[in-house]
Amino acid sequence: MNATASTRILVIALFAALLAACAAYDGRALVPGVARLADVERVMGAPALRWKAADGSEQLAYPRGPLGYHTFMAHIGAGGRLLRIENVLDAKGFAAIRAGMSEDEVLRVLGPPDAARTQYFAARDELVWDWRYCDDWNMTARFYVLFDNGSRRVRSTMSQEESVVADAVLVYPFCGH
């Protein structure tokens, strides 16, 4: 086999691996009503969080951070089949966060925050959780949920575009998709 043929095979293999990774990223290859729980876990991996309801249905959280822009929630029906997969780091998900919600309620809506960026502010006795997302203008942004540290209930939320330089690592202001 010559060098050109070897290079072609390598490029094809890399391209196939990238396509497989993209399919696993958001589960787009999974068909609601057809795919089962085992299929979701095989394609998307082990969930970061899992909630089981009394009726047997489940919700699985798949955060794609800390540098990703999405958290996907897979909803599995009581019969074990996929109902839907949705990105929750968007205007609809953020609008669902209300003052007074508990930490667990926020986790069920948005999934786990970026743990490396969770901060406590003693002067306000406030805990801040942080999610990275792509805003409506295709800009990298952060959504923050501010909790009263004593009650662990949401005080407020805010959103802002990400800085050009964050944590001494160059961050591109436009989303990469």
Which run of H or of E encompasses 1? none
Longest dimension (CA), the chain: 68
Within 10 angstroms of residue 106's Cβ, the number of other Cβ atoms is: 23
Share of the chain above pLDDT 90, in %: 68
**Is the fold of 3-87 the same as that of 91-170?**
yes
pLDDT digits (tens, 9 = 90+) for 90-108: 999 999 999 999 999 999 9
* Sign (positive or negative) of CA dihedral 171, 44, 103, 155: positive
Reported CATH class of domain 3-87: alpha beta
Give the amino acid at 75: H
Token pair, residue 173, equals 């202001």
Token pair, residue 90, equals 């968007």
Which architecture characterizes domain 91-170 according to CATH? 2-Layer Sandwich (3.30)
Report helix angle 37-44 to 3-26, nearest 10. 130
**The Cα angle at residue 117 between residues 44 and 47, in degrees rounded to 5:** 15
Among 35-39, 48-52, 166-170, whose mean pLDDT is lowest? 166-170
Confidence of residue 15 (pLDDT cuts 50, 70, 90): very low
pLDDT digits (tens, 9 = 90+) for 125-177: 999 999 999 988 888 899 999 999 999 999 999 999 886 445 545 555 677 65
- Give pLDDT, residue 161: 86
Token pair, residue 77, equals 């029906």
Confidence of residue 68 (pLDDT cuts 50, 70, 90): confident
* In the chain, where the domains are located: 3-87, 91-170
